[in-house]
Amino acid sequence: MAPFYKYGFFGDEMSLVLAFVLGTGFGFFLERAGFGSARKLAAQFYLYDMSVFKVMFTAIVTAMLGVTYLGWLGWLDLSLVYLVPTHLVPQIVGGLVLGVGFVVGGYCPGTSVASLATGRIDGFVYAFGIGAGTLVYAEVFPWIKGFVNSNGMGQVTLPEVFDLPWGLVVFVVVLIAVAGFSAATLVERRFGDKA
Amino acid sequence: MKLAALTLNQKLAIVAVALGTLALFSVPHRGPVVTLDTRELAQIVEKEVDHVTPSELAGWIVQGRSDYRLVDLRTESDYAAYHIPTAENVTVAALPEFPFQRTEKIVLYSDGGIHAAQAWMLMQAQGYRAVYTVLGGLEGWKDDVLYPALPAQASAAERARFERAAALSRFFGGEPRAEGGAAVPATMELPKLAAPVPSGAVSPVAPRKKKKEGC
């Protein structure tokens, strides 16, 4: 049955419309979580407000349980879901670059757009920076192409990498999330006063 | 401990752990038993989403894309005589036993379209869903990629398209057919396998190793 796009239930145009609807919904909930404000996001890195960690982990666990159960019910064919191919080292480097930008600018790409939508000037500047950065990346891409494509592991999932049953990985990630959540709450109590 | 005494977060955590525990027994990927949804298959065929055109495929090979496996279903001798660069040889008879991954995108081709279409159905019956066929098979590859023809009284757009196709054709060792020029060669010789093979593609003599192995 699903993924709908792969089964041709809708085409490219419709998928763009759906992307717009989903993206708007995503932005709405980012704003509702307070992520339209750079202060809230930067607080994550100073450990007095762990909202980013909590919201992201909640999203991961919800989506993971969702696809697991849909797959189990036979409504979703997980083998057809596109996964971004893993390139371990280049992606770690990319993650660090994004992280530095996150701390310095106070936003990640998605939240900067949410912030821009509510009229914040810093959000506008950040979104402009994304555009400029993308342009620079595209221009230097020929020189760094070899590195970007190195370490290719293909479309892999954790159960494949660790050779564990799918259900076990789901269970362990849920436990890690719950433990992380509790730990985050403790961290907030410890550092919260410095806000 | 009364339920009401718990915060919303704690209740949600309990729900998550319960669902996670139950998920221990889940089988999210389809098992060996496959139910074919005939309406679904009919949809795929109707919408032609299971095709890759020869030009698309040629583009992928030139770009060196490795997110798919190209499978030549013809006999070993046919394969040895000529095959599309980067293709690996798996005959229809060997297909059911061949260790493909479910998550792999598999592109099949045979001489015409029939064997590939039948093999496509075989793969569906085994639960492989990301299976595609090359439109027109090897014949389509010859017509569109190796020996593209410039239509008589071509418009500027057609001419430009032909120029692109001609470049692609030379890349694969083919010979574009310009208007009035050499009529279709009687036997339409296939390029010798020593002909240029895109860098990155393994020499056709040795069977192609899967690129993304080892994880």
CATH of the domain at B79: 3.40.250.10
Which of B142, B160, B194 terminates a domain? The answer is B142
Is the Cβ of A63 closer than 8 Å to some Cβ of chain B?
Answer: no
Q: Which residues pair with B90 in a beta bridge?
A: none
Distance CA A39, CA A103 (A): 10
Q: Residues 6 or more apart from B104 whose CB is under 8 A from it? A: B68, B69, B130
Same domain, residue pair B97 and B115: yes
Examine residue B57 and state whether it is found in any structural domain, yes or no. Answer: yes
Q: Are residues B62 and B111 in the same domain?
A: yes
- Kindly state whether residues B167 and B120 are assigned to the same domain: no
**ipTM topping 0.85:** no
Number of folded domains that form chain B: 2
DSSP A60-111: HHHHHHHHHHHHHTTSB-GGGS--PPEEHHHHHHHHHHHHHHHHHHS--HHH
Would B129 be classed as within a structural domain?
yes
pLDDT in the model for residue A55: 87
B74 and B125 inside one domain: yes
CA distance A147 to chain B (A): 16
* B79 and B163 assigned to the same domain: no
Subunit contact B23:A69, Cβ cutoff 8 A: yes
Q: Which residues of A touch B19 (CB under 8 A)?
A: 65, 69, 174
A67-76, B84-93, B95-104, B145-154 — most confident range:
B84-93
Tell me, yes or no, whether B208 lies in a domain: no
Q: Show which of B113, B142, B171 is a domain's final residue.
A: B142
pTM over 0.90: no
Q: What angle do CA B47, B53, B54 make, to 5 degrees?
A: 165
At B134 the three-state DSSP class reads: strand
Report residues of chain A scoring pLDDT below 70: 1-3, 5-8, 79-80, 193-195
Pair (B78, B168) in one structural domain:
no
Q: Is the pLDDT of residue B188 over 60?
A: no
What pLDDT does A77 receive? 75
Q: Which of B9, B40, B212 sits opposite A154 (nearest CB)?
A: B212
Let me know if residue B32 belongs to a domain.
no
Give the whole-number percent of chain B exceeding pLDDT 90: 12
Query: What is the extent of the structural domain holding B162?
Result: 147-183
User: Are B48 and B120 in the same domain?
Assistant: yes
Single out the residue of B116, B114, B121, B122 nearest to residue B84, CA to CA: B116
Domain membership of residue B161 (yes or no) is yes
Q: What is the pLDDT of residues B97-134, one digit of tens each?
A: 787 876 678 999 999 888 999 999 888 888 787 899 99
d(Cα A170, Cα B49) in Å, to the nearest integer? 32
For the segment B12-28, the average pLDDT, to the nearest whole number, is: 86
Contact B130 A79 (CB under 8 A): yes
Residues B85 and B175 in one domain: no
Q: Which of B84, B113, B142 is the last residue of a domain?
A: B142
User: Given CA atoms B168, B174, B175, B176 in this order, what sign does their dihedral have?
Assistant: negative
Percentage of the residues of chain B whose pLDDT score is greater than 70: 76
Residue B191 confidence (pLDDT) above 50: yes
Domain identity same for B84 and B168: no
**Which pLDDT does position B170 carry in this prediction?**
83
Q: Which residues from B are below 8 Å from A156, CB to CB?
A: 215
Which pLDDT does position B207 carry in this prediction? 40
Q: Is residue B75 part of a domain?
A: yes
Task: Check A79 against B43: CB less than 8 A apart.
Answer: no
Task: Looking at the structure, tell me whether residues B176 and B102 fall in a common domain.
Answer: no
Enumerate the residues of chain A whose CB falls inside 8 A of the CB of residue B33. Answer: none
Alpha helix segments (H runs only) across chain A = 12-32, 38-45, 51-72, 88-105, 109-117, 121-148, 158-162, 166-191
pLDDT averaged over every residue in chain B: 77
Residue B192 within any structural domain of the chain: no
Whether chain A has a CB inside 8 Å of the CB on B129: the answer is: yes
Helix (H, G, I), strand (E, B) or coil at A175: helix
Sorted by sequence, the CB contacts under 8 Å of residue B211 that are 6+ apart come out as A152, B66
Same domain for B155 and B95: no
Per-residue model confidence (pLDDT) at position B212: 39
The answer to whether B44 contacts A7, with C-beta atoms less than 8 Å apart, is yes
- Same domain, residue pair B129 and B162: no
With CB atoms and an 8 Å threshold, state whether B215 touches A77.
no
In a domain, residue B72? The reply is: yes
pLDDT of B48 over the 70 cut: yes
Is A77 close to B23, i.e. CB distance below 8 A?
no
